[in-house]
Protein backbone atom coordinates (compact mmCIF):
# COMPACT_ATOMS: atom_id res chain seq x y z
CA UNK A 1 0.00 0.00 0.00
CA UNK A 2 1.31 3.41 -0.88
CA UNK A 3 0.67 5.80 1.94
CA UNK A 4 -0.30 9.13 0.44
CA UNK A 5 -1.17 12.14 2.48
CA UNK A 6 -4.66 13.30 1.60
CA UNK A 7 -4.65 16.89 0.56
CA UNK A 8 -8.16 17.69 -0.55
CA UNK A 9 -9.49 18.57 -3.00
CA UNK A 10 -8.26 15.29 -4.45
CA UNK A 11 -9.93 12.12 -5.76
CA UNK A 12 -12.86 11.76 -5.82
CA UNK A 13 -13.18 15.25 -7.23
CA UNK A 14 -16.55 16.93 -6.85
CA UNK A 15 -18.42 19.83 -8.36
CA UNK A 16 -18.51 22.90 -6.11
CA UNK A 17 -21.73 24.89 -6.24
CA UNK A 18 -21.50 28.20 -8.08
CA UNK A 19 -21.12 31.17 -5.74
CA UNK A 20 -24.19 32.72 -7.43
CA UNK A 21 -27.46 31.61 -9.02
CA UNK A 22 -27.57 30.29 -12.59
CA UNK A 23 -29.48 33.40 -13.69
CA UNK A 24 -27.23 35.88 -11.86
CA UNK A 25 -25.11 36.71 -14.91
CA UNK A 26 -28.13 37.60 -17.08
CA UNK A 27 -28.30 39.11 -19.63
CA UNK A 28 -24.61 38.61 -20.41
CA UNK A 29 -24.63 34.85 -19.88
CA UNK A 30 -28.12 33.35 -19.87
CA UNK A 31 -29.35 30.99 -17.14
CA UNK A 32 -29.82 28.03 -19.51
CA UNK A 33 -26.20 28.26 -20.66
CA UNK A 34 -24.91 28.58 -17.10
CA UNK A 35 -26.94 25.58 -15.99
CA UNK A 36 -25.84 23.22 -18.75
CA UNK A 37 -22.28 24.52 -18.57
CA UNK A 38 -21.89 23.96 -14.82
CA UNK A 39 -24.22 21.05 -14.02
CA UNK A 40 -23.65 19.07 -17.24
CA UNK A 41 -20.35 19.98 -18.94
CA UNK A 42 -18.25 20.66 -15.84
CA UNK A 43 -19.85 17.74 -13.99
CA UNK A 44 -19.05 15.37 -16.86
CA UNK A 45 -15.37 16.35 -16.80
CA UNK A 46 -15.29 15.50 -13.10
CA UNK A 47 -17.20 12.25 -13.54
CA UNK A 48 -14.90 11.12 -16.35
CA UNK A 49 -11.77 12.19 -14.44
CA UNK A 50 -12.83 10.19 -11.38
CA UNK A 51 -13.65 7.16 -13.53
CA UNK A 52 -10.17 7.28 -15.07
CA UNK A 53 -8.48 7.53 -11.65
CA UNK A 54 -10.66 4.93 -9.94
CA UNK A 55 -8.31 1.97 -10.38
CA UNK A 56 -5.13 3.91 -9.52
CA UNK A 57 -5.17 4.45 -5.73
CA UNK A 58 -1.57 5.70 -5.82
CA UNK A 59 -2.92 8.81 -7.57
CA UNK A 60 -5.79 9.46 -5.17
CA UNK A 61 -4.00 11.92 -2.89
CA UNK A 62 -3.04 14.40 -5.60
CA UNK A 63 -4.64 17.72 -6.38
CA UNK A 64 -5.68 18.25 -9.97
CA UNK A 65 -2.83 20.72 -10.52
CA UNK A 66 -0.32 18.08 -9.40
CA UNK A 67 -1.79 15.43 -11.70
CA UNK A 68 -1.67 17.78 -14.68
CA UNK A 69 1.91 18.77 -13.91
CA UNK A 70 2.94 15.09 -13.67
CA UNK A 71 1.12 13.91 -16.78
CA UNK A 72 4.21 12.28 -18.26
CA UNK A 73 4.55 10.07 -15.16
CA UNK A 74 0.92 8.86 -15.21
CA UNK A 75 -0.04 5.44 -16.60
CA UNK A 76 -0.33 5.74 -20.37
CA UNK A 77 -3.82 4.25 -20.26
CA UNK A 78 -5.24 7.32 -18.48
CA UNK A 79 -2.80 10.08 -19.48
CA UNK A 80 -4.89 11.60 -22.25
CA UNK A 81 -8.10 11.34 -20.23
CA UNK A 82 -6.55 13.10 -17.23
CA UNK A 83 -5.24 15.80 -19.57
CA UNK A 84 -8.60 16.36 -21.26
CA UNK A 85 -11.06 15.83 -18.40
CA UNK A 86 -8.77 17.08 -15.63
CA UNK A 87 -7.84 20.13 -17.69
CA UNK A 88 -11.53 20.77 -18.20
CA UNK A 89 -12.19 20.50 -14.47
CA UNK A 90 -9.37 22.88 -13.52
CA UNK A 91 -10.18 25.50 -16.17
CA UNK A 92 -13.88 25.57 -15.31
CA UNK A 93 -13.23 25.71 -11.58
CA UNK A 94 -11.03 28.75 -12.19
CA UNK A 95 -13.46 30.28 -14.67
CA UNK A 96 -16.36 30.29 -12.19
CA UNK A 97 -14.14 31.96 -9.60
CA UNK A 98 -13.37 35.03 -11.71
CA UNK A 99 -17.01 35.77 -12.60
CA UNK A 100 -19.18 38.18 -10.68
CA UNK A 101 -22.79 39.24 -11.22
CA UNK A 102 -23.43 42.92 -11.94
CA UNK A 103 -19.73 43.74 -12.12
CA UNK A 104 -20.78 46.48 -14.53
CA UNK A 105 -18.08 48.95 -15.38
CA UNK A 106 -15.65 47.60 -12.77
CA UNK A 107 -12.00 47.94 -13.62
CA UNK A 108 -8.72 46.64 -12.24
CA UNK A 109 -7.10 48.86 -9.63
CA UNK A 110 -3.74 49.07 -7.89
CA UNK A 111 -0.79 46.91 -8.94
CA UNK A 112 -2.76 44.97 -11.56
CA UNK A 113 -4.05 48.17 -13.19
CA UNK A 114 -0.49 49.50 -13.34
CA UNK A 115 0.80 46.25 -14.87
CA UNK A 116 -1.98 46.26 -17.50
CA UNK A 117 -1.17 49.86 -18.46
CA UNK A 118 2.55 49.02 -18.58
CA UNK A 119 2.20 45.88 -20.73
CA UNK A 120 -0.76 46.73 -22.98
CA UNK A 121 -0.75 50.54 -23.04
CA UNK A 122 -4.18 50.93 -21.42
CA UNK A 123 -7.11 48.96 -20.00
CA UNK A 124 -9.04 49.51 -23.25
CA UNK A 125 -6.12 48.24 -25.33
CA UNK A 126 -5.89 45.15 -23.10
CA UNK A 127 -9.63 44.45 -23.49
CA UNK A 128 -9.38 44.82 -27.25
CA UNK A 129 -6.47 42.37 -27.41
CA UNK A 130 -8.27 39.84 -25.18
CA UNK A 131 -11.43 39.96 -27.32
CA UNK A 132 -9.49 39.83 -30.59
CA UNK A 133 -7.36 36.88 -29.42
CA UNK A 134 -10.47 34.99 -28.31
CA UNK A 135 -12.37 35.80 -31.50
CA UNK A 136 -9.50 34.66 -33.73
CA UNK A 137 -8.90 31.38 -31.91
CA UNK A 138 -9.95 28.51 -34.16
CA UNK A 139 -12.47 26.04 -32.70
CA UNK A 140 -12.48 25.12 -28.99
CA UNK A 141 -10.13 26.56 -26.40
CA UNK A 142 -9.58 29.29 -23.87
CA UNK A 143 -8.25 32.84 -23.92
CA UNK A 144 -5.93 33.82 -21.08
CA UNK A 145 -4.51 36.83 -19.31
CA UNK A 146 -1.44 35.44 -17.55
CA UNK A 147 1.72 36.55 -15.79
CA UNK A 148 5.03 35.26 -17.07
CA UNK A 149 7.11 34.55 -13.95
CA UNK A 150 10.52 34.93 -15.58
CA UNK A 151 9.80 38.55 -16.49
CA UNK A 152 6.78 39.47 -14.37
CA UNK A 153 5.07 40.63 -17.56
CA UNK A 154 1.44 40.11 -18.49
CA UNK A 155 0.48 38.35 -21.71
CA UNK A 156 -2.74 37.57 -23.57
CA UNK A 157 -2.89 34.37 -25.62
CA UNK A 158 -5.18 31.42 -26.35
CA UNK A 159 -4.70 27.67 -25.99
CA UNK A 160 -6.61 24.86 -27.68
CA UNK A 161 -9.16 22.53 -26.10
CA UNK A 162 -8.47 21.95 -22.41
CA UNK A 163 -4.75 22.66 -22.41
CA UNK A 164 -3.87 24.39 -19.18
CA UNK A 165 -0.85 26.68 -18.87
CA UNK A 166 0.54 24.82 -15.84
CA UNK A 167 3.25 23.03 -17.87
CA UNK A 168 4.34 26.39 -19.29
CA UNK A 169 4.76 27.69 -15.74
CA UNK A 170 2.58 30.68 -16.56
CA UNK A 171 0.25 32.08 -13.93
CA UNK A 172 -3.36 32.49 -15.08
CA UNK A 173 -5.13 35.64 -13.87
CA UNK A 174 -8.21 35.70 -16.10
CA UNK A 175 -9.68 33.22 -18.58
CA UNK A 176 -12.68 33.01 -20.83
CA UNK A 177 -14.17 29.87 -22.34
CA UNK A 178 -14.15 29.75 -26.16
CA UNK A 179 -15.98 26.42 -26.49
CA UNK A 180 -19.29 26.84 -28.28
CA UNK A 181 -21.13 25.37 -25.27
CA UNK A 182 -20.14 28.54 -23.38
CA UNK A 183 -22.12 30.90 -25.61
CA UNK A 184 -23.95 29.21 -28.47
CA UNK A 185 -27.47 29.14 -26.96
CA UNK A 186 -27.56 32.93 -26.71
CA UNK A 187 -24.91 34.28 -29.08
CA UNK A 188 -24.97 31.55 -31.78
CA UNK A 189 -21.97 32.25 -34.02
CA UNK A 190 -21.38 35.66 -32.44
CA UNK A 191 -18.29 34.83 -30.44
CA UNK A 192 -16.98 38.46 -30.53
CA UNK A 193 -20.23 39.73 -28.95
CA UNK A 194 -19.99 37.06 -26.26
CA UNK A 195 -16.39 38.05 -25.57
CA UNK A 196 -17.34 41.72 -25.38
CA UNK A 197 -20.12 41.00 -22.89
CA UNK A 198 -17.57 39.31 -20.60
CA UNK A 199 -16.43 42.76 -19.36
CA UNK A 200 -19.75 43.08 -17.50
CA UNK A 201 -19.13 40.03 -15.32
CA UNK A 202 -15.42 40.02 -14.40
CA UNK A 203 -14.55 40.01 -10.71
CA UNK A 204 -11.61 42.43 -10.98
CA UNK A 205 -11.21 42.63 -7.24
CA UNK A 206 -10.47 38.90 -7.12
CA UNK A 207 -8.25 38.98 -10.22
CA UNK A 208 -6.29 41.82 -8.61
CA UNK A 209 -5.81 39.72 -5.49
CA UNK A 210 -4.57 36.82 -7.63
CA UNK A 211 -2.00 39.13 -9.18
CA UNK A 212 -0.83 40.54 -5.87
CA UNK A 213 -0.73 37.13 -4.17
CA UNK A 214 0.84 35.21 -7.05
CA UNK A 215 3.38 32.88 -5.41
CA UNK A 216 5.72 33.47 -8.29
CA UNK A 217 5.56 37.20 -7.73
CA UNK A 218 6.44 36.66 -4.10
CA UNK A 219 9.43 34.49 -5.07
CA UNK A 220 10.68 37.21 -7.36
CA UNK A 221 10.12 39.77 -4.65
CA UNK A 222 12.05 37.65 -2.16
CA UNK A 223 14.95 37.34 -4.57
CA UNK A 224 14.87 41.07 -5.22
CA UNK A 225 14.92 41.84 -1.50
CA UNK A 226 17.79 39.42 -0.90
CA UNK A 227 19.94 41.34 -3.35
CA UNK A 228 19.77 44.37 -1.11
CA UNK A 229 20.25 42.74 2.31
Binding site for Mn ion (CB under 5 A): 177, 179, 182
Q: Which residue is nearest to Mn ion, using beta carbons?
A: 177
d(CA 89, CA 95): 10
Q: Which is nearer to Mn ion, 189 or 209 (CB)?
A: 189
Least Å distance, CB 42 to Mn ion, is 7
Least Å distance, CB 45 to Mn ion, is 9
Q: Which is nearer to Mn ion, 89 or 129 (CB)?
A: 89
Give per-residue burial for 150-179: e unless 16+ CB within 10 Å, then b: eebebbbbbbeebbbbbeeebbbbbbbbbb
Q: Which is nearer to Mn ion, 119 or 177 (CB)?
A: 177
Least Å distance, CB 181 to Mn ion, is 5
CA angle in degrees (0–180, nearest 5) for 139-140-143: 105
Q: Which is nearer to Mn ion, 96 or 179 (CB)?
A: 179
Least Å distance, CB 92 to Mn ion, is 6
Stated as kind and residue range, the H or E segment containing 174 is: strand 171-177
What sign for the dihedral angle of Cα 20, 21, 27, 29? positive
Q: What is the largest CA-CA distance in the chain?
A: 58
Amino acid sequence: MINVERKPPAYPFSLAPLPFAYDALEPHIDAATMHVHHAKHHQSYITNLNAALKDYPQLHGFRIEELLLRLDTLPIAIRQTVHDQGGGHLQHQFFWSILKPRAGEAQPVGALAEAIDRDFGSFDAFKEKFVETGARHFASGWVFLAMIPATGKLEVFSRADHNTILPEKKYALLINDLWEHAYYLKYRNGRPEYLQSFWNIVNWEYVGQLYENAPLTKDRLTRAIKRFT
